[in-house]
Amino acid sequence: MKYITAIIQPHRLDKVREALGALGVHGMTASDVYGYGRQKGHTEVYRGAEYEINYVPKTKIEIAVADAQAEAVIEAVTEAARSGKIGDGKIFVVDLAAALRIRTGETGSDAL
Amino acid sequence: MIDSGNTAWILTSTALVLLMTLPGLALFYAGLVQAKNLLSVLMHCITIAALVSVAWVVCGYSLAFEAGNALIGGLGRVLLLGMERDSVFAGTALPESVFVMFQMTFAIITPALIVGAFVERIRFAAVMAFTLLWLLVVYVPVTHWVWGGGWLAQLGVMDYAGGIVVHVTAGVSALVIAAMLGARDGFPTHVRPPHAPWMVMVGASLLWVGWFGFNAGSALGAGADAGMAMLATHLAAAVASLTWLVIEKLRFGKPSLVGFVTGTIAGLATVTPASGFVGPLGGILLGLAGGTLCFLAVDLIKHRWRIDDSLDVLAVHGVGGATGTLLVAFLAVLPGGTGVNAQGGMASQFLVQLAGVAAVAAWSALATFVIVKAIAMTIGLRVSKEAEIEGLDFTAHGEKAYNP
């Protein structure tokens, strides 16, 4: 199994969800994060004082998939999240050692 | 003779002015600090309200408004003894109880303004001690000097609703305590932005509306004076806000909400001493002056002098109040004539106003210095570095502003 983490533009979340649904992936975790890459941040001004905000808000999604599906999922997320501009984000993939469905106790790919 | 119309208005004004502190000022300041210190700011404002209320009744009111000498009032109304249910406050058609309450709300908001200077790093015990001592040593005497028949009143100083009594005292004292306390961690290069600019606007809006009680209520009656004071007050607020908006647009390319409402407060502070003496044009001019000068003052104190008067109390209240007080000499229109001070004209009134501002500024600074020194040497002024980093809400009050 693979554990796929994608940092994407927050407004792309719905499109990514639809793309995953079309592939039969019916679960993911999303969280609000902030970070920076080539997008450095921006300056805000309050009462004449400049504040360097060196972080950009992003959405992180995490998906557990079977090995066979991994490539298709990565492609689907990439397609859905890409706008072509700096700030589109990144995808990271790690090997997933185990997975378990809490309600039923199913393990492995049955849990995904 | 008690007049029910006048009394009704001043009862209402009292409520409006208390609303300015609770929650107007509290929200205005809370939105400007980091989320981890939100509750501490609200706590400062509301505990100051409670503490001052008691102190005012115990001896503050008496020492401010009872006949005494040129420097301080008498003890004739300690614990409000001698005040009957139907006592009338001399020179008005109000029950004395109403006058006591109305003035109490001014006594509450003035030390509450100083909160802006010491947010995010002061010890709570120091806030309580400072407020009590400052009220008795600065606010009460100055009130007596200007409004209680003391030496500045005898000199002819004109301060309709507190340009000197409220804004100069608080503003100057704020600068002193800010300088003695030391800056917030990370000032000036790594200060965090306001955590809730929307909250600042909500607070400022309550202050704007409440200020009608502050200025129009200072007419101590429901009539033409109150009406004109309200009109001038409102125009100053609007014009100062627009002035700040234009300056920001020119300087930064974008007019901001926090800036706009700061302009509002600057205009309101500036018109306060003049509100009952001027007409609508005076209100507009005071708004222009306040908006411009306070903007420059924020820049000067924060960015050139690098003093962490965190929420710009001196720049907005001190500079605004002083400016308005000085401009009274030129903008006041007394009934029956043009110009001011029939005895001496604008120039001599200006000198009188200047003397008032200078004397009060000097006393505020000196007294604050001594009070802060005393507190620093006894109970301690500032929280530890760790507490400052973790935030006052949890370390001082055991609470978090937002729980999921």
Residue B215 contacts residue B229 (beta carbons within 8 Å): yes
Residue B382 contacts residue B121 (beta carbons within 8 Å): yes
What whole-number distance in Å separates Cα of residue B32 and Cα of residue B37? 10
Answer yes or no: is B400 within a domain: no
Q: What is the domain range of residue A20? A: 2-111
Residues near B256 by beta carbon (within 8 Å), at least 6 away in sequence: A45, A46, B197, B248
Sign of CA dihedral B251, B255, B261, B264: positive
B288 exposure class (CB count in 10 Å sphere: 0-12, 13-18, 19+)? middle
Asked if B252 and A53 come within 8 Å (Cβ–Cβ), the reply is: no
What whole-number distance in Å separates Cα of residue B244 and Cα of residue B262? 8
Residue B277 contacts residue B160 (beta carbons within 8 Å): yes
What whole-number distance in Å separates Cα of residue B288 and Cα of residue B86? 44
What whole-number distance in Å separates Cα of residue B338 and Cα of residue B1? 32
Looking at residue A2, the DSSP 8-state letter turns out to be E
Sheet with A29-35: list strands edge to edge. A29-35, A56-65, A2-8, A89-95
- pLDDT 10s digits, B29-83: 999 999 999 999 999 999 999 999 999 999 999 999 999 999 999 999 999 999 9
Tell whether B304 lies on the interface with A, counting CB pairs under 8 A.
no
pLDDT at position B334, please?
54
Asked if B298 and A47 come within 8 Å (Cβ–Cβ), the reply is: yes
Residues of chain A with Cβ-Cβ distance to B194 below 8 Å are 46
- CA of B273 vs chain A CAs: smallest distance (Å): 25
Residues of chain B with Cβ-Cβ distance to A45 below 8 Å are 248, 252, 254, 256
What whole-number distance in Å separates Cα of residue B244 and Cα of residue B261? 9
Tell whether B159 lies on the interface with A, counting CB pairs under 8 A.
no
Answer yes or no: is B173 within a domain: yes
Answer yes or no: is B12 within a domain: yes
**Strand, helix or coil for residue B123:** coil
pLDDT at position B120, please?
97
Q: Residue A76: how many CB atoms within 10 A of its CB?
A: 19
Element (H, E) at A52: strand A49-53
Looking at residue B162, the DSSP 8-state letter turns out to be S
Q: What is the domain range of residue B71? A: 4-395
Mean pLDDT for chain A overall: 93
Residues of chain A with Cβ-Cβ distance to B303 below 8 Å are 48-49
Number of domains making up chain B: 1
Q: What is the CATH number of the domain that holds A22?
A: 3.30.70.120
Residue B336 has pLDDT above 60, yes or no: no
For residue B302, the chain A residue with the least C-alpha distance is A49
Q: Which amino acid is at B186?
A: G
What whole-number distance in Å separates Cα of residue B305 and Cα of residue A59? 41
For the entire predicted model, the pTM comes to 0.93
- pLDDT 10s digits, A51-73: 888 888 999 999 999 999 999 99
Residue B333 has pLDDT above 80, yes or no: no
Structure-block tokens of residue B145: 């000097």
Structure-block tokens of residue B230: 């309200």
Q: What is the CATH number of the domain that holds B234?
A: 1.10.3430.10
Crossing angle of helices B96-118 and B4-19, in 10° steps, is: 20
Sign of CA dihedral B387, B399, B309, B46: negative
How many CB pairs below 8 A link A and B? 34
Answer yes or no: is B114 within a domain: yes
Tell whether A31 lies on the interface with B, counting CB pairs under 8 A.
no
Residue B343 has pLDDT above 60, yes or no: no
Asked if A46 and B194 come within 8 Å (Cβ–Cβ), the reply is: yes
Number of domains making up chain A: 1
Element (H, E) at A100: none
Complex ipTM, two decimals? 0.78
Q: Which of B193, B295, B303 sits opposite A44 (nearest CB)?
A: B193
Tell whether A43 lies on the interface with B, counting CB pairs under 8 A.
no
- CA of A42 vs chain B CAs: smallest distance (Å): 13
Residues of chain A with Cβ-Cβ distance to B192 below 8 Å are 51
pLDDT at position A63, please?
97
Residues of chain B with Cβ-Cβ distance to A46 below 8 Å are 193-194, 197, 256, 258-259
pLDDT at position A107, please?
95
Q: Which residues of chain A have pLDDT under 50?
A: none
Element (H, E) at A89: strand A89-95
What whole-number distance in Å separates Cα of residue B152 and Cα of residue B360? 9
Tell whether A51 lies on the interface with B, counting CB pairs under 8 A.
yes
Answer yes or no: is B340 within a domain: yes
